Chain A
């Protein structure tokens, strides 16, 4: 007869489970959490803290270092219970631990100081540069993965004496071996405080691309020495503070002596100073007719960017021969092609259609304030004189008085007007 209970609920099954649980509980009672230890603790004996000379001595006392998951305390809190000197260092930004904590607050002790790796294993893992968060001390090892010999960098390649200190000359000494000529000029121009500009994140080598910044290098700017614009730059702040406007660098080269303003790029581009390109027709005063060939300075007497009125009279004073009769609305009669011919469209006291084909000068040969009817078809002075004297009209000089519309005779009472 086969039992229908699962094997784990059979007598032997339950007995086995109980015995196993008892054995484990007994072991835990006798040896603490040792059965969970993934490996022996470090046996280094540098100093005795809180009565403990090495981590090996507290091997079975897991809770000395391990806080329970439901407790507020962390493992790091347990570390500093004994390592109070390190706790003090974490508050001091001039120390390694202080710098690390300040720049990377999320770091925990065990990331650099792993345990359970064996009695003789190092308690500090800095030999593996991919583990140590080097950027937290202000310099990333992103650009320093492989040394010149294509071998991975070792700590003492840069930190010769003490892992916690760094001699700035190390940078130049090593990089001079790579490119002595470049380094000599680079140090001469920018100084020796490499870390003030270089944080190790990027490689500023031949692949350096200035165009990732807002000020892109194009045209003639491509071949300019860095220091020509970044004058006396000694820190990243100095570099980024370089003014991006043209005039800051090109003040001395201004062929316009400042009269065209400071925004060179309004007309020029980086291909060269020659070939300035300004489309006046994009402005609110498109250049047409005779204006096209006028030199810029003729209108913009105080610099190219001078705001000018678009009224004609701002540049063109009314000529004397207008005798103040036509006003300043020039384009009512004139076009930009030329002053003459002009097409008079204003009010005129005498019919303009009189004597078809006449120009202004036909009637106004001397000025617009005087007129003559002579010189036109039958209006010869001698004939007029004779004709009027025959009629007994002696005052015939003021033609319009009797002929306001140019017709004859217009008024039966002309004698009254004599």
Chain B
């Protein structure tokens, strides 16, 4: 199980570490780390960067024909790792306030992570090589067709949610810069 889900275990480890640091900061500063101060801001910026990587790198690699950097299975593992750790950091950045556009962004983040889990479950129904190619003959034609249809449906939902999430996140970042970071 450990070998098959290495990215999940690594993500869990990272999340435990982040939780520990967050707990220590909370205890030492005697307050929930505010989103606008060094630690809270750091969590938000780092988490969002990881989320951006989740969104872009795997997608670019998948569509890249000329440059074949790394195996697709590794990129998928990286996609899953950043897709879990990034949102987890963003969750701590909220300082547990979910109002306005920031709250909407958090909600969309939670949805996209759940959707990601569902997608991964469907994706792993089809046996593949390490380069992501389907291994034919292990599923019946009917079953394969059904899984492909399901995967296509999932893509149609997952991608727009991601897009809306990033639009919302960028508006939140713009608002934060305008109303807080560059505040005089």
A residues contacting B by CB (< 8 A) are 4-8, 10, 12-13, 15-17, 19-21, 24, 33-39, 62, 66-69, 73-75
Contact (Cβ within 8 A) A6 B59? yes
Contact between B179 and A8 (Cβ–Cβ < 8 Å)? no
Determine if B28 is an interface residue (Cβ-Cβ < 8 Å): no
A8 contacts B99, C-beta separation under 8 Å: no
Q: Can you list 20 A-B contacts (CB < 8 A)?
A: A6-B56, A6-B59, A6-B60, A7-B155, A8-B55, A8-B162, A16-B159, A16-B160, A24-B101, A24-B171, A34-B100, A36-B102, A36-B175, A37-B99, A38-B35, A38-B36, A39-B97, A62-B179, A67-B184, A73-B184
- Contacting pair B168 A20 (CB below 8 A): yes
Residue contact B175 to A13, C-beta cutoff 8 Å:
no
Collect the chain B residues with CB atoms within 8 Å of residue A20's CB: 163-164, 167-168
- Assuming A24-B168, A37-B99, is B159 touching A12 (CB within 8 A)? yes
Closest to A37 in B: B100
Q: Does B68 contact A (CB under 8 A)?
A: no
Q: Which residues does chain A contribute within 8 Å of B184, judged by CB atoms?
A: 67, 69, 73-75
Prevailing SS type, chain B contact patch = helix
Nearest residue (CB) in A for B157 is A12
Least distance between A114 CB and chain B CB atoms (Å): 11
Contact A10 B159 (CB under 8 A): yes
Q: Interface on B for A, CB 8 Å cutoff?
A: 35-36, 55-56, 59-60, 63, 65, 97, 99-102, 104, 155-156, 159-164, 166-168, 171-172, 175-179, 182-184
Residue of B nearest to A4 (CB): B63
CB-CB under 8 A from A35, the residues of chain B are 100-101, 104, 171, 175
Query: Distance in Å from the Cβ of B140 to the closest Cβ of chain A?
Result: 22
Q: Could you tell me if B100 and A38 are in contact, using CB atoms closer than 8 angstroms?
A: yes
Given A8-B59, A21-B167: 14 more A-B contacts, CB < 8 Å: A6-B59, A6-B63, A7-B162, A8-B163, A13-B159, A13-B160, A16-B161, A20-B167, A34-B100, A36-B102, A36-B178, A66-B178, A66-B179, A74-B184
Min CB distance A116 to B, Å, is: 10
Report how many A-B pairs have Cβ atoms within 8 Å: 86
Partner among A7, A24, A33, A69 whose Cβ is within 8 Å of the Cβ of B59: A7
Closest to B103 in A: A35
Query: Contact between B63 and A12 (Cβ–Cβ < 8 Å)?
Result: no
Q: Check if B163 sits within 8 Å of A36, measured CB to CB.
A: no
Pair B163/A38 contact, Cβ less than 8 Å: no
Give chain B nearest CB distance to A171 CB in angstroms: 29
Q: In the assembly, what is the distance between CA of A5 and CA of B156, in Å?
A: 14
Known contacts A24-B167, A24-B168; is-contact A12 B160 (Cβ 8 Å): yes
Q: Is the CB of B179 within 8 A of A36?
A: yes
Minimum distance in angstroms from B123 CB to a CB of chain A: 14
The residues of B that contact A21 with a CB separation of less than 8 Å are 167
Smallest CB-CB separation from A77: which chain B residue?
B184
